Amino acid sequence: MTTLLETRYRAVLRLLPAYYRQAREEEMVETYLWDLDRDTQDQSRPTLGETASVAALALRSRLAASGAPRRYALLGSTARHFALFAVLLQATAALVDRVLGLTWASTHGSSQWDMFVSAFTDQGPLFGVVEVAEWALPLLWTVGFFALVHDRRRLARTSVLLAALPTLWPFVGPLVSDSVVPSDLWFAVVTALFAWLSALALCAAYHRDAPAAALPVGSPGLVFAAFAVVTGASIVLLPGAPDTAWAPATCFLVGAVGWLVLRSRSADRGPAGGAVALAALGLLLLAVRVAALYPWLGLPLPAVYLGGALGQVAGLTLLVVVLGAVARRDLVRH
């Protein structure tokens, strides 16, 4: 007769995908219940540690590498591509933003430098710490990217989780201080979503069994430098256009078009997850772009800013559609 503990353990095993349960469930139940006293099994439950180990196994088998059924291998490949591209975009955007900000402040007289420093010092110790964290922590996207491409997964996970933290301040700040909920709440929401989806995708998809991260072309340093140059150039050449969505959206547009061109010239179409991941990333960036622009609509805006933002909206929409079509074709082909 089935005991309550067995029933409960089987319920925990339902976290696992069906293909895995079919192969392993009976064996795992046998291993789990082997030396447990049958008389006490109706009073016990699977421990938290045991449940956590099954949950981790469920995550690894759903975001699987090769050898798993097609849909799970595809899900894993998509999540890994999404994480890699998203972390690269955020790394270059954060680094270039800070380098340009520091350069501007340090080369345009003492008033600019005082204004830069006052952002950290003029609002009391709590906000000072928050400002420093908001300025410094996003630089860890870069650490996360290079740790990932050099297969230092633990460092990559820690770095991106810390890098994403500042995006929570708009929601946590009003709870712990007298700061107010930001007026552009949707922008704060989609920005946090972008950061946390990137960080969590990296943490979940680059598990122990996953293959090492590999860029479709070039060395990591070269690709990072190219993205940084595109980001910096887009800000310097159109100084009236940039807002916080500008740099990652520009990089995505250039990177995704480059990816499509490379793909069209190569006989090897690469893994199916690439196009799906880029389409998902493009959709997310489109949401960030629209949320950044939306609060300003109806106000008299500089033509450069409005034109740049609307151009990005159009470009992102077009690319998402194209990438979606490519992804669909890849899915059928695989």
29-37, 105-113, 194-202, 277-285 -> range binding other proteins (CB under 8 A): 29-37
Percent composition of the chain: helix, strand, coil (DSSP 3-state, to 5): 80, 0, 20
**Binding of other proteins at residue 56 (CB under 8 A)?**
yes
Closest CA to 13 of 30, 34, 36: 30
Token digits of residue 178: 């007298």
Tell the smallest beta-carbon distance from residue 65 to other proteins (Å): 9
Yes or no: say if 304 and 238 are a contact pair by the CB < 8 Å rule.
Answer: yes
- Measured in residues, the chain has a length of 334
Separation CA 126–CA 141 (nearest Å) = 24
Give the shortest CB-23-to-other proteins separation in angstroms: 9
Q: If binding is defined by CB under 8 A, does position 34 make contact with other proteins?
A: yes
Residue entry with tokens 């629209």: 290
Query: Contacting other proteins (CB under 8 A), which of 4, 11, 18, 55?
Result: 55
Of 5, 54, 230, 327, the one binding other proteins (CB under 8 A) is 54
Under the criterion CB under 8 A, does residue 7 sit at the interface with other proteins?
Answer: no
Cβ-based neighbours of 139, under 8 Å, separated by 6 or more: 94, 95, 98, 163
Closest to other proteins by CB, 1 vs 180, is: 1
Question: Distance between CA atoms of 88 and 218, rounded to whole angstroms?
Answer: 14
CB 11 → other proteins: shortest distance, Å?
Answer: 14
User: Please, what is the minimum distance in Å from the beta carbon of residue 212 to other proteins?
Assistant: 12
Q: Which is nearer to other proteins, 24 or 334 (by Cβ)? A: 24
Among 14, 22, 26, 261, binds other proteins (CB under 8 A): 26
CA dist 46 → 9, 13, 296 (Å): 6, 11, 53
Residues numbered 142 to 161 that lie near other proteins (CB under 8 A) are none
Instruction: Work out which of 22, 31, 112, 121 binds other proteins, going by CB under 8 A.
Output: 31
Q: Which stretch binds other proteins (CB under 8 A): 59-67, 188-196, 212-220, 233-241?
A: 59-67
Q: Is 121 in the site for other proteins (CB under 8 A)?
A: no
Nearer to other proteins, 26 or 114 (CB): 26
CB 136 within 8 Å of CB 155: no
DSSP string, 36-94: S-GGGTTT----HHHHHHHHHHHHHHHS--TTS-HHHHHHHHHHHHHHHHHHHHHHHHH
What is the footprint of other proteins within residues 241-300 (CB under 8 A)? none
Which part of the chain contacts other proteins (CB under 8 A), choosing from 33-41, 135-143, 210-218, 277-285?
Answer: 33-41
Of 28 and 165, which CB lies nearer to other proteins in the complex structure? 28
Question: Considering the rule CB under 8 A, would residue 39 count as an interface residue with other proteins?
Answer: no
Q: How far is the CB of 87 from other proteins (least distance, A)?
A: 22
Q: Are 63 and 72 in contact (CB under 8 A)?
A: yes
Give the chain's end-to-end CA distance (angstroms, integer): 44
One-letter amino acid at 22 equals Q
Q: Is residue 89 at the binding interface for other proteins, with CB under 8 A as the rule?
A: no
Compare residues 62 and 289 and give the one whose CB is closer to other proteins.
Answer: 62
Q: Which residues bind other proteins (CB under 8 A)?
A: 24, 26-35, 49-50, 52-57, 60-61, 67, 208-209
